Amino acid sequence: QVPVLRPMDLMVEATPRRVFANAHTYHINSISVNSDYETYMSADDLRINLWNFEITNQSFNIVDIKPANMEELTEVITAAEFHPHHCNTFVYSSSKGTIRLCDMRTSALCDRHAKFFEEPEDPSNRSFFSEIISSISDVKFSHSGRYIMTRDYLTVKVWDLNMENRPIETYQVHDYLRSKLCSLYENDCIFDKFECVWNGSDSVIMTGSYNNFFRMFDRNTKRDVTLEASRENSKPRAILKPRKVCVGGKRRKDEISVDSLDFSKKILHTAWHPSENIIAVAATNNLYIFQDKVN
């Protein structure tokens, strides 16, 4: 029998080119490529390791916060990223809402931070859930390298690298959830880890929310918008209609009440093209690509 050539649709299959194994005991939460394009780091709950792309069987441990006695563990690493221009500088965030900036030139093991960013707690907002909602789920340098952005459960914060004692900007992502924290703790949604992104010029920041909503904040005009990534509610190439969540009292037409939000539809991952106004949004098992309306 002569083999027959049968045309088929293009199939894409991912195969690993290199595997960097056996350096992490705990769940890996971040990887970040260095600006030298020779090294990258990987971070788990308690340690951060530095790798060379060409060397798969060896890494250097650069951060280790594992206590000698695990009983004393009260804080874990939640995210880490290299500075976009300075290949010796990186930041990592913690479950207690703090960010540490480290310089790899100071020592092999970056146990002591060069800078420590933490906002003092607001005593009027204190509750048993304060620590959980302060846990940072994502940290991102601005493209300029002058700012970092952090995402915690209810807000996005922008920090100036030169000011450690508080952020320069705070944006409320879904403050209407503040009175629902108990329920969100019960159903575990309070542990959801949302990412955040900068646009190419660092003027707009974006992050996801529930009900397939995602939010954008313009840092200059201070305007914000809520959009929805859903096939049911918008056709391809149609302009997205801004959404609004109604927090109480009369619900206007087209507004959604807090109690109608679908908490299983969460947008945790988003990305922004480095130079164009094109965004990618992951909603459950769908990937949406949106762009500025053209012509």
Q: For another protein, what does the binding mask look like between residues 144 and 183, x meaning CB under 8 A?
A: ----------------------------------xxxxxx
Contact range with another protein by CB under 8 A, out of 103-111, 144-152, 163-171, 187-195: 187-195
Please work out the total of residues on this chain that contact another protein, with binding judged by CB under 8 A: 44
Question: Based on CB atoms, which residue is closest to another protein, 74 or 106?
Answer: 74
What is the x/- site pattern for another protein, positions 21-50, by CB under 8 A? ----xxx-x---------------xx----
**Minimum distance between the CB of residue 127 and another protein, rounded to whole angstroms?**
3
Q: Which is nearer to another protein, 45 or 119 (CB)?
A: 45
Element of type H or E holding 216: strand 213-218
CB 117 within 8 A of CB 101: yes
Answer for which of 262, 276, 287, 289 binds another protein (CB under 8 A) is 262
**Taking CB under 8 A as the rule, does residue 185 contact another protein?**
yes
DSSP 123: G
- Give whole-number Cα distances, 169 to 73, 140, 237, in Å: 31, 14, 33
Residue 249 in tokens: 């009292």
Distance CA 185, CA 163 (A): 32
Q: Does 269 bind another protein (CB under 8 A)?
A: no
In sequence order, the β-bridge partners of residue 158 are: 149, 169
Q: What track of x and - describes contact with another protein for positions 79 through 118 (by CB under 8 A)?
A: ----------------x-----------------------
Nearest to 280 by CA among 218, 206, 172: 206
Q: Where does this chain touch another protein (CB under 8 A) — which range of 68-76, 199-207, 225-233, 286-294?
A: 68-76
Q: Tell me which of 9, 72, 122, 292 binds another protein, using CB under 8 A.
A: 72
The closest alpha carbon to 135, from 57, 202, 73, 191, belongs to 191
Burial status of residue 72 (CB atoms within 10 A of its CB: 0-12, 13-18, 19 or more): exposed
Provide the token pair at 125.
Answer: 């907002």
Distance CA 46, CA 26 (A): 7
- Which stretches of the chain bind another protein, using CB under 8 A? 25-27, 29, 45-46, 70-76, 78, 95, 125-129, 131-132, 135, 178-189, 191, 248, 258-264
